[in-house]
Structure formats: structure tokens, C-alpha cells
């Protein structure tokens, strides 16, 4: 087995979570989700299949929209976006996301930028992947201070989308909307259940001995370190360069 960087594990996990989507949108400042989408596209095309369409938001160079900043939301409302990523200053065990601030609203003690499109996209994009590398009790709280976007909705509320998974720097969780709540799917190499419990402010279901997150094989790593990092360098030059520096260390 080749040595694999922690962020390569994240990228490969994202590619797996996206399997089957036709169109994924990623933020201009989200290189890891973008890399995951690009990896999936490369893997599909290597098999002779059609890869997903990838829209990178806010990028001038990779702007595939022509109707202004409303088009992403229209496109999602039309059912043309299958997957999207959401972070959050706080995420709780019900899948609620807080992008607004900590403390009492509106005079938040810590103010984050704001909800962006989450209060809409979380409802209408079928596969929303919650992604936050920092895995601490500060981020993963029992109950968010402000609901920018709720994890689940009551019966009768129109909802064609929502969270399917939560990916952190330590682990991958599946979201079960019937409970609702998270279930630990796998632990990334170098971490363990006890550490994850301590780092997570909400309760979650888990096996007694959780699996380790699957590592990519040689062929996947070659695609990632070749074609995908080349593509990535066009939009996220600093991130691609950094990954390649770290790989230089690994390879050495």
C-alpha cells in the first residue's frame, strides 16, 4: 500500500460519496471537495463512462453560468444539481447548520459571514455533504446557536434534498434522517473512537469497533496525483502546490 496523505483520504472519500451524481457544485474556496469531484470525473472517464459535470462557484475562469449569481439557485431548484458541500461554524447532531454566529442573535459574540445559500440549497440538493476538517466540540455541538439550515423538516414541508454524510478530518458519518442523527461510518487512519467521541459535542450511533475509512488503491492515487492535481492547479494553484510539496516529502 502506498503512503497516503490525510487530505488524500478526504478527497478519495468525497469521490466515493459523489458516485453516481451528474452535476456537482463546489465553492471557489473549497479545493478538497473540488478535488473529490475531479477525481470522480477522472475515474469515470478512465472507465470509459461519463463523469459528473462540475460547477465551480465564484470562479471567473470556470464560470459555466451566464445568468448571474441567481443561476446556481435556479439550477438547484430545477433539480439540475445533485450534490453540494456545506460547512458551518457549528453543526449539531440533528444535521442543523449554523453559518451566522455563536451566542445570542443578533448581537452574536462571534459573527461568521452568514448563511449564504444554505437555507435554500440544503432543502433542494439531494446529496448535501457536510464537510469540515476541524473536528472539535466547538464545531460539532449538541445544538447550534442559530439554524441557518435545518437537517430535517417536518412531514408536509417540501424537501427534495438534505444531508447524507458528514466528513471531518477524523471520520466519516452517515446521516440518518429517520432518527434523525449521525452514525459513525468509518474512522480515518491515525484516529480512534475514543478520540472522536471526545471531539464531538453531539451523540452519534457507532459500532463497538468502527471500520477504518477505505484507502485509495494505486490506480486511484495515480489519477489523483497526476491528472487531478493538474486540473486542480488551474483553479486552486496554492492548494495544488501545497499538496505536491507534501507528496514530495512522502515520496522522499
Partner 1 sequence: MAKHIEPGMRVALPVDYAGVSMAMTRPIIEHGAGDLDLVCVPTGGLQVDQLVGAGLVRSVETSAVSLGEAGGAPRFNAAVKEGAIRLKDATCPAIHAGLMAAQKGSPFMPLRGLIGTDLLRHRDDWRVVDNPLADGGDPIVLIPAIKPDVTIFHVPMADRFGNVWIGRRRELAAMAYASQLVLVTVERIVEENLLADEMTAAGVLPALYVTAVALAPKGAWPYGLWGEYPTDSAEIARYAKAARTADGFAAYMGQAQMESA
Residues at the contact surface with partner 1, assessed by CB under 8 A: 23, 29, 53, 58, 60, 63-70, 73-80, 99-101, 105-109, 111-124, 146-150, 153-154, 156-158
36 vs 161, which CB is nearer to partner 1? 161
61 vs 209, which CB is nearer to partner 1? 61
116 vs 195, which CB is nearer to partner 1? 116
Measured on CA atoms in the order 91, 141, 144, 94, is the torsion positive or negative?
A: positive
State the nearest-atom distance from the C-beta of 18 to partner 1, in Å: 17
State the nearest-atom distance from the C-beta of 75 to partner 1, in Å: 7
State the nearest-atom distance from the C-beta of 92 to partner 1, in Å: 13
State the nearest-atom distance from the C-beta of 210 to partner 1, in Å: 31
Residue 134 near residue 169, CB atoms below 8 Å: yes
DSSP SS3 for 165:
strand
159 vs 225, which CB is nearer to partner 1? 159
State the nearest-atom distance from the C-beta of 240 to partner 1, in Å: 16
The number of C-alpha atoms within 13 Å of 31 and in the hemisphere containing its C-beta is 18
76 vs 199, which CB is nearer to partner 1? 76
The number of C-alpha atoms within 13 Å of 34 and in the hemisphere containing its C-beta is 24
Strands 83-86 and 127-132 turn out to be parallel
Distance separating alpha carbons of residues 151 and 159, to the nearest angstrom: 11
122 vs 199, which CB is nearer to partner 1? 122
Distance separating alpha carbons of residues 60 and 22, to the nearest angstrom: 22
CB burial readout 40-69, b (16+ within 10 A) else e: bbbbbeeeeeebbbbbbbebeebeeeeeee
State the nearest-atom distance from the C-beta of 88 to partner 1, in Å: 13
Amino acid at each position: 500500500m502506498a503512503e497516503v496523505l490525510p487530505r488524500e483520504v478526504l478527497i478519495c472519500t468525497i469521490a466515493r460519496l459523489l458516485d453516481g451524481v451528474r452535476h456537482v457544485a463546489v465553492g471557489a474556496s473549497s479545493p478538497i471537495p473540488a478535488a473529490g469531484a475531479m477525481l470522480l470525473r477522472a475515474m469515470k472517464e478512465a472507465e470509459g463512462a461519463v463523469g459528473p459535470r462540475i460547477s465551480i462557484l465564484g470562479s471567473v475562469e470556470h464560470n459555466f453560468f451566464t445568468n448571474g449569481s441567481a443561476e446556481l439557485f435556479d439550477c438547484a431548484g430545477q433539480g439540475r444539481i445533485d450534490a453540494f458541500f456545506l460547512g458551518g461554524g457549528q453543526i449539531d447532531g440533528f444535521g442543523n447548520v449554523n453559518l451566522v454566529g455563536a451566542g445570542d442573535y443578533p448581537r452574536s459574540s462571534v459573527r461568521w459571514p452568514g448563511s449564504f445559500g444554505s437555507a435554500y440549497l440544503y432543502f433542494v440538493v439531494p446529496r448535501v455533504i457536510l464537510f469540515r476538517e476541524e473536528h472539535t466540540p466547538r464545531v460539532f455541538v449538541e445544538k447550534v446557536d442559530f439554524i441557518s439550515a435545518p437537517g430535517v423538516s417536518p412531514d408536509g414541508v417540501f424537501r427534495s434534498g438534505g444531508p447524507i454524510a458528514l466528513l471531518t478530518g477524523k471520520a466519516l458519518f452517515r446521516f440518518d434522517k429517520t432518527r434523525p442523527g449521525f452514525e459513525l461510518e468509518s474512522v480515518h487512519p491515525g484516529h480512534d473512537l475514543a478520540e472522536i467521541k471526545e471531539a464531538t459535542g453531539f451523540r452519534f450511533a457507532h459500532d463497538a469497533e468502527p471500520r477504518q475509512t477505505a484507502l485509495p488503491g494505486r490506480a486511484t492515487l495515480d489519477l489523483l496525483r497526476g491528472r487531478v492535481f493538474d486540473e486542480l492547479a488551474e483553479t486552486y494553484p496554492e492548494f495544488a502546490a501545497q499538496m505536491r510539496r507534501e507528496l514530495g516529502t512522502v515520496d522522499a
